[in-house]
Amino acid sequence: MDEKEDPPPPQEEKKSYLHVECKPAEKGKYIQAARRKNLKLNAWILETLNAAIKSD
pLDDT, position 2: 56
Give the pLDDT score at 17.
93
pLDDT at 50: 95
**DSSP 8-state assignment for residue 17:** -
- pTM for this one? 0.72
Q: pLDDT tens across 1-44, in order?
A: 456 788 877 788 888 999 999 999 999 999 999 999 999 999 99
Q: Following CA atoms 52, 15, 24, 51 in sequence, which dihedral angle do they give, to the nearest 10 degrees?
A: 10
CB count within 10 Å of CB 8 equals: 6
